[in-house]
Structure 1
Amino acid sequence: MCDEYEMTYAHPDSLEGLLQRGRGLGAERALQDPQGAAVFVYDAIRRDWRWDGTDDRALYLARLVQDLELPLTPVVDQLVGDEESCLRACDVLELLALAGSEEAREGLREYVRKGEYWVPVLESVSAQWPAEWWEDLGEVARARIDGEAELPWPFEPWTRFGIEVQSRPFIARPSLTGLSTAELLTVLADAHTEDATKFDALRALNSRVSAEELIPLVPSLVTSDGRRPLPPLRRAVERLGTTAVPAAHGWAQDERPWLAQLGADVLADYPRPEALPELVEELAAQLAERTWCGPDRTARRLARFGSDAVGAVPYLRRFWLRTPHSYERTAYLEALAAINRDGLDYVYTESLWDCEETARLQGISSAPATPEALGRIALLRDDPMETPEVRAAARARLLAPSGLGQTGLLAPSGLGQT
């Protein structure tokens, strides 16, 4: 959890520290010293160096195991640990199996036959692998499920195996995606609509062009106990952008704490010019205090000032270099690009090796068309372990004229140094 403890990370410029943070530079350095990197790669699979559950590591680590040609035995052996350790190993092995490793594939299949946490492992591989890789395990599952704990949901592989789920039956709610935007707003405006239906209506709205007509409904979109907004509401308000600012002035003065906080957050996201020095000071203080959760929001607010926020650049650079919270790295790079794009070629190129999907997407769109970058993008396009979104973006980049990205930047200007 972000604010409850801080793990002791190695120096951010050391190989160990880079790998703990999921930095692209760590993957590049590891390739130069596979033997020296092996202990840190295995450690990053054995111990959870993610800052919280939003960070990604499995694909990054699976690629390292594959690219460094490391033995899989330590990863397969990790399956017999506690549940969290087992599932970390499972995540890596699943991907390596997709990349063609028979050892990874058979290691997981054997664990399903005999392992303690075989239920979540089987559910996981059934979600990631082709059915023909696991559907023959039905007999094993039917034999082992007798006396096991209740299964949570009726989905694969249990439905395919014909195993009855013993827990509370899942009743699907009618989909609202077929309703028009006006109809969804009517659902939200009806005081008799249940929370669950309003939740679904907001989710449906969040997949469409934002509607200003939602603004007057915001104060009513609260849970039945009146204590907190419906979970999709914040995202819906964020998507309204500056159109929500006038109403936010009133929300910020409301006696209901949740609405006052929502209004204050909207106003903070669109700061006035006089707020710039305070935001720079806030980012500097967050860095000094090693606050790794939340500065991404400060960075996004600073980005709105463009080149006027140049005073924030040194802090944004240090956050990008040092944060163990890899999920937030993308926001720092976006802010740097909005304020001063000079010298970011190196960063975009390194991002092609990053653990975070959003960072790799940034690299694909903006890295310079060097042989190194284009070669890496081609690998991402063809990697069976990669996400569909990254593969599609890589394909589109390589099909563009000359493979050019969105930047025409100069050589690195020191962001790679701590």
Structure 2
Amino acid sequence: MSDESAGDRAYAPVDSLKGLLQRGRGLGAMWAPDDPATAAELVYEAVRQDWRWDSVDDRHLYLAGLIQGLGLAPDPVVSLLAGDEDECERATSILELLAVSGSAEAREALRAYVREGEHWVDVLESVAGIWPVEWWDDLADVARARLSGEESLLWRSDPWVRWGTGHRTSAHPRPQGVQTVEVGPSRRRLLAVLADPDTADGAKAEALHTLAGRPPEPDLIPLVPGLGTADGERPVPWLVRAVERLGALAAPEARAWAADERGWLSWTGIRILAEHGEARDLPALMRELAAHEEARQWCGPDRLAAGLARFGPAAAEAAPALRRFWLCTPHSYERPAYLKALAAIDPAGLDRAYTESLWDCESNARVLGIASAPDVPLARQRLTRLRDDPMEEPEVRAAAGERLAAGGR
């Protein structure tokens, strides 16, 4: 599982510093100080190229911490502000944290960008959400002068609220005391729309969207196999959400769906079994995990991991695959789920994983590490750093403080 790729880019081997940094693994941050020259080049490369597998993956605090910890200049990050919208956003998320940690250069670079940069509104709204007000409040006149009226602004947040340009209201407010209640189509009508093979996918999606917002509808269950899109490649939008509302009611039919040759229907069934299945469903869940590993499908195994964790040691056969997913996945958002599953299924030998997680790019992984890392000097030093780091997420700082207050145990 070492030849993952993102588009036309291949991830480096997971046992290399480059591969670890690309994946946001804690071990990469731990190794970096041992070879600062090589690490510096690799960190800057990770800043320039977005190695996240998915947009939900975190890297900004991880990279900001590496830049600060290695004593690197922020210049390459500042240069990225002049790139496209995504590059500018990526640079902003790193620089605003470096500023919080004390980098005057990062702070002034972002303030200068607000004065002259193309995506200045996004940058201003971002820093206003994280910086002390005195760091951006004096930019009010600059911002007002730059507004053209065409911008899409977050009117209900700073800086616009503080500057008196927020909380825009409708020119025709609804009279007080008058409420409108939308009454949608009846369940019978919605089910008829879904049962009609001639109904367009768009109309079916609207019906499913309505059902997804209502109490569980058991009569939807027999219709599910016929609710793929016209090309047969995926479920009609909102189907999975509507089915998930059924919970355990859908489990009996989900077993048949899970064995279907149509990928979208099989995955719909597996999702239900992962959350509501019984011990007899373990083989199906483990086969699906193995199939994801073989195909290097990095999105989705977290659901399987959570489902397998429900069965504890009975799912021990899945432990080796879960360990490989934890080690290799480039989809860092899912990494904490694998560690949680291993803790429930086969917890022996996880001390190193918990310790490494204290440096992980994902805040949920760091919280897991805080809760379970062994009480050793290295972990205590890291806990102190997490507690005191102004760049760190509030929940991580709080958890580290509580662990230290309890004596590190």
TM-score, with length taken from structure 1: 0.76
Q: Which residue of 1 aligns with 2:151?
A: 150
From 357, 367, 378, the counterpart of 1:361 = 367
Q: Which residue of 2 aligns with 1:29?
A: 31
Q: Is the 8 A contact 2:59 2:361 kept in 1?
A: yes
Residue 151 of structure 1 aligns with an amino acid whose one-letter code is S
Q: Which residue of 2 aligns with 1:265?
A: 271
Q: Which residue of 1 aligns with 2:103?
A: 101
Alpha-carbon deviations, 1:251-292, whole Å to 9, x = none?
A: 9999xxx99987773334232323223322222221121111
The Cα shift of 1:189 comes to 10
From 312, 315, 319, the counterpart of 1:309 = 315
Change (3 A) 1:165 1:303: closer
Q: Which residue of 2 aligns with 1:383?
A: 389
Q: Which residue of 1 aligns with 2:56?
A: 54
Change (3 A) 1:261 1:280: closer
Q: Which residue of 2 aligns with 1:409?
A: none
Q: Is the 8 A contact 1:310 1:339 kept in 2?
A: yes
Q: Is the 8 A contact 2:22 2:330 kept in 1?
A: yes
Q: Which residue of 1 aligns with 2:141?
A: 139
Change (3 A) 1:5 1:218: farther
Q: Is the 8 A contact 2:387 2:397 kept in 1?
A: yes
Residue 71 of structure 2 aligns with an amino acid whose one-letter code is E
Change (3 A) 1:346 1:234: farther
Q: C-alpha distance in 2, partners of 1:260/1:277?
A: 14
Q: Which residue of 2 aligns with 1:245?
A: 248
Change (3 A) 1:84 1:261: closer
Query: Where does the alignment leave 5 or more consecutive residues of structure 1 unmatched?
Result: 175-186, 193-198, 204-212, 220-226, 405-418
1:297 aligns with 2:303: yes
Query: Where does the alignment leave 5 or more consecutive residues of structure 2 unmatched?
Result: 187-208, 221-235, 258-263
The Cα shift of 1:161 comes to 2.9
Q: Secondary structure at the match of 1:91?
A: helix
Q: C-alpha distance in 2, partners of 1:15/1:51?
A: 18
Residue 63 of structure 2 aligns with an amino acid whose one-letter code is L
Q: How many residue pairs end up in the alignment?
A: 365
Q: Which residue of 2 aligns with 1:90?
A: 92
Q: C-alpha distance in 2, partners of 1:83/1:247?
A: 43
Q: Secondary structure at the match of 2:10?
A: coil
Q: Which residue of 1 aligns with 2:325?
A: 319
Residue 32 of structure 1 aligns with an amino acid whose one-letter code is D
Q: C-alpha distance in 2, partners of 1:29/1:233?
A: 46
Which deviates further from its counterpart, 286-295 or 362-371?
Answer: 286-295
Q: Is the 8 A contact 1:142 1:163 kept in 2?
A: no
Residue 319 of structure 1 aligns with an amino acid whose one-letter code is F
1:206-285 aligned at under 5 Å gives the runs 215=216, 229=238, 237=245, 244-246=247-249, 249=252, 265-285=271-291
Change (3 A) 1:164 1:356: closer
Q: C-alpha distance in 1, partners of 2:308/2:172?
A: 45
1:352 aligns with 2:355: no
Which deviates further from its counterpart, 273-282 or 384-393?
Answer: 273-282
1:113 aligns with 2:115: yes
Alpha-carbon deviations, 1:172-216, whole Å to 9, x = none?
A: 9x9xxxxxxxxxxxx999979xxxxxx9xx99xxxxxxxxx9556
Change (3 A) 1:171 1:116: farther
Q: C-alpha distance in 2, partners of 1:250/1:284?
A: 23
Alpha-carbon deviations, 1:286-342, whole Å to 9, x = none?
A: 112111111111112221221122211111111111110001111111111111111
Q: Which residue of 1 aligns with 2:12?
A: 10
Q: Secondary structure at the match of 1:384?
A: coil
Q: Secondary structure at the match of 1:280?
A: helix
Q: Which residue of 2 aligns with 1:331?
A: 337
Q: Which residue of 1 aligns with 2:189?
A: none
Q: Is the 8 A contact 2:254 2:273 kept in 1?
A: no
Q: C-alpha distance in 2, partners of 1:338/1:14?
A: 29
1:188-207 aligned at under 5 Å gives the runs none
From 399, 403, 412, the counterpart of 2:408 = 403
From 389, 394, 403, the counterpart of 2:400 = 394
Change (3 A) 1:288 1:228: closer
Q: C-alpha distance in 1, partners of 2:47/2:183?
A: 48
Q: Is the 8 A contact 2:309 2:345 kept in 1?
A: yes
Alpha-carbon deviations, 1:146-169, whole Å to 9, x = none?
A: 3x6322331322233344799998
Q: Is the 8 A contact 1:154 1:170 kept in 2?
A: no
The Cα shift of 1:45 comes to 1.1
Change (3 A) 1:22 1:230: same
The Cα shift of 1:102 comes to 0.9
From 371, 375, 379, the counterpart of 2:377 = 371
Q: Secondary structure at the match of 1:324?
A: coil
Percentage of pairs with the same residue = 53
TM-score, with length taken from structure 2: 0.77
Q: Which residue of 1 aligns with 2:226?
A: none
Change (3 A) 1:57 1:171: farther
Q: Secondary structure at the match of 1:161?
A: coil
Q: Is the 8 A contact 2:388 2:397 kept in 1?
A: yes
Residue 366 of structure 2 aligns with an amino acid whose one-letter code is R
